[in-house]
């Protein structure tokens, strides 16, 4: 008798949970829910992008999944992305209240904040980055200065193979550091190595299987499970960046900023106690956001670039021919030279497309009740912009499922950028560092292709283009063959 009562109670509880997690009226459709788990058990969290693609084929460009009892709307394809992120940018510009990325950043910084804090800090970042050379010749000089260290490393390995896995992370980290801290670091420096390690490791955890479990089962959050490593890394970075701020405060001269930290301290002093969101703790997370965004995406794109250039030697040779013709005896490349290099531009953009570096963007949330493509979406609903679906959308690209620079060339072999090219997202939440990333990719790739030939090592076997999934995707580890090549230069 007691067993029957217990079974009845369990069944009733599961029924209540099922009823409470049913989709609201006119909510985007999706797969059938399992009580407690939602759709988690139906998703392959190691190959999530493939599952999201299959769900779109079954339920349309806008559909929903549940992580436990938490509804999530997934956007797929250019039309849905534009309608949500551009046309209704205000309605879709929010961030969730409960998410692993929110907990990691403690709702501070700029990437995972919203409302007035986000607006103030995004405006400050855009202004400050522009003042420190974003898109200008001074930023070119910072980048070219860091490239010289890459060149030195590759020259030492000419005729051999080298492991590039941290080489580009070290370079992009240093470039953003010249803006944030007014300095660069030796590649063996403890500060540099610690932060790069934390960035790379955390990127694999966020959006991965353990972060999904973190979302769905809050009772497990304090257990010593793999997602705790992300919080340990966060604490290490907070400590190292806090030390940077403390050191800057000792040398800071108000009104005479040398870097972004000085500008922020000026802002704090100017605002005083007016209720501003500018604070020293906020500054630490602000730096963490900018370091993460400024390091991982560009470096992983560069790793993808050299994987494809090595395994597509015809593409590499055509780039080098164009580079040689355009630069001639010019000592250094300039960002302006891109306008005379349509094929190289096409290759760089095609690399960004296939790299699919931030496939699910950063999770959004609706700021008010709204409608999207005929569906009602309540305020506070989590929204995943599946950028990957746009970058490989069938009707948007000539060759959506292969590496082919022709995706960015018209019939006259002129460079064109299709509307569906949105690796940096779109709308009001578009990546802050897009301008810096574009300049880095062009200057680094052109400089290195001009000086070196890159070959796929014979002993490496068949190349594997399948990326390692995470909040940012990266190619699987590979080695790179380096050969010196002759080029015309006043210093050669």
94-128 confidence digits (pLDDT tens): 999 888 888 999 999 999 998 888 999 999 988 88
Give the pLDDT of residue 383.
96
Tens-place pLDDT, residues 295-306 = 999 999 999 999
Tens-place pLDDT, residues 411-447 = 999 999 999 999 999 999 998 888 899 999 999 999 9
Tokens of 459: 């002993």
Tokens of 136: 């200008």
DSSP per residue, 191-242: HHHHHHHHHHHHHHHTTSHHHHHHHH-GGGTTSS-TTHHHHHHHHHHHHHHH
Which helix (DSSP H) or strand (DSSP E) does residue 286 occupy? helix 280-311
- Structural domain boundaries of the chain? 91-327+449-484
Quick one: 91-327+449-484 is in which CATH superfamily?
Cytochrome P450 (1.10.630.10)
DSSP state of 375: E
Query: Worst-scoring range by mean pLDDT, 131-145, 298-312, 458-472?
Result: 131-145
Tens-place pLDDT, residues 320-340 = 999 999 999 899 999 999 999
Is 249 a residue whose pLDDT tops 60? yes
Give the pLDDT of residue 367.
96
DSSP per residue, 454-476: EE--GGG-S---PPBPSSS-BPP
Rounded to a whole number, what is the distance in angstroms from the first to the last CA of the chain?
Answer: 92
Which helix (DSSP H) or strand (DSSP E) does residue 282 occupy? helix 280-311
DSSP per residue, 108-132: -SSSS--HHHHHHHHHHHHHHHHHT
Give the pLDDT of residue 446.
98
Longest dimension (CA), the chain: 94
């Amino acid at each position: 008798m007691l067993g029957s009562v217990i079974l009845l109670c369990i069944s009733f509880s599961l029924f209540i949970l099922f009823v409470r997690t049913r989709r609201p009226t006119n909510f985007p459709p999706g797969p059938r829910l399992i009580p407690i788990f939602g759709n988690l058990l139906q998703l392959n969290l190691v190959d999530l992008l493939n599952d999201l693609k299959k769900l779109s084929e079954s339920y349309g460009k806008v559909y929903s999944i549940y992580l436990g009892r938490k509804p999530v709307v997934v956007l797929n394809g250019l039309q849905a992305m534009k309608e949500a992120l551009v046309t209704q940018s205000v309605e879709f510009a929010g961030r969730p209240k409960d998410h692993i990325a929110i907990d990691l950043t403690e709702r501070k910084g700029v990437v995972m904040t919203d409302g007035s804090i986000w607006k103030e800090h995004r405006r400050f970042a855009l202004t400050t980055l522009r003042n420190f050379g974003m898109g200008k010749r001074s930023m070119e000089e910072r980048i070219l200065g860091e490239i010289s260290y890459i060149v030195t490393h590759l020259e030492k390995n000419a005729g051999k193979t080298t492991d590039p896995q941290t080489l580009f992370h070290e370079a992009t980290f240093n470039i953003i550091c010249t803006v944030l801290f007014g300095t660069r670091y030796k590649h063996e420096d403890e500060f540099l190595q610690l932060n790069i390690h934390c960035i790379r490791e955390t990127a694999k955890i966020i959006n991965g299987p353990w972060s999904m479990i973190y979302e769905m089962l809050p009772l497990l959050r304090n257990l010593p499970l793999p997602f705790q490593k992300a919080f340990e890394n966060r604490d290490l970075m907070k400590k190292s960046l806090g030390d940077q701020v403390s050191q800057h405060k000792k040398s800071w001269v108000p009104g005479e900023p040398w870097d972004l930290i000085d500008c922020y301290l000026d802002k704090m002093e100017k605002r005083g106690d007016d209720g501003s969101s500018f604070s020293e703790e906020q500054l630490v997370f602000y730096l963490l956001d900018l370091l993460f965004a400024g390091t991982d995406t560009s470096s992983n794109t560069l790793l993808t670039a050299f994987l494809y250039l090595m395994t597509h030697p015809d593409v590499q040779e055509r780039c080098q021919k164009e580079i040689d013709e355009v630069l001639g005896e010019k000592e250094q490349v300039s960002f302006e030279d891109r306008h005379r290099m349509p094929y190289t531009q096409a290759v760089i953009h095609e690399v960004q497309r296939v790299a699919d570096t931030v496939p699910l963007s950063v999770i959004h949330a609706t700021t008010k009740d709204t409608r999207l493509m005929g569906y009602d979406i309540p305020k506070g609903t989590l929204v995943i912009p599946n950028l990957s679906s746009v970058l490989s959308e069938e009707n948007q690209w000539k060759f959506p499922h292969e590496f082919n620079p022709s995706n960015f060339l018209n019939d006259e072999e002129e460079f064109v950028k299709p509307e569906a090219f949105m690796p940096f997202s779109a709308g009001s939440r578009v990546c802050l560092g897009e301008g810096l990333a574009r300049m880095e990719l062009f200057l680094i790739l052109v400089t290195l292709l001009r000086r070196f030939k890159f070959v796929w090592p014979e002993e490496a076997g068949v190349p594997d283009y399948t990326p390692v999934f995470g909040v940012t995707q990266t190619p699987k580890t590979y080695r790179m063959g380096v050969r010196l090549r002759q080029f015309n230069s006043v210093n050669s």
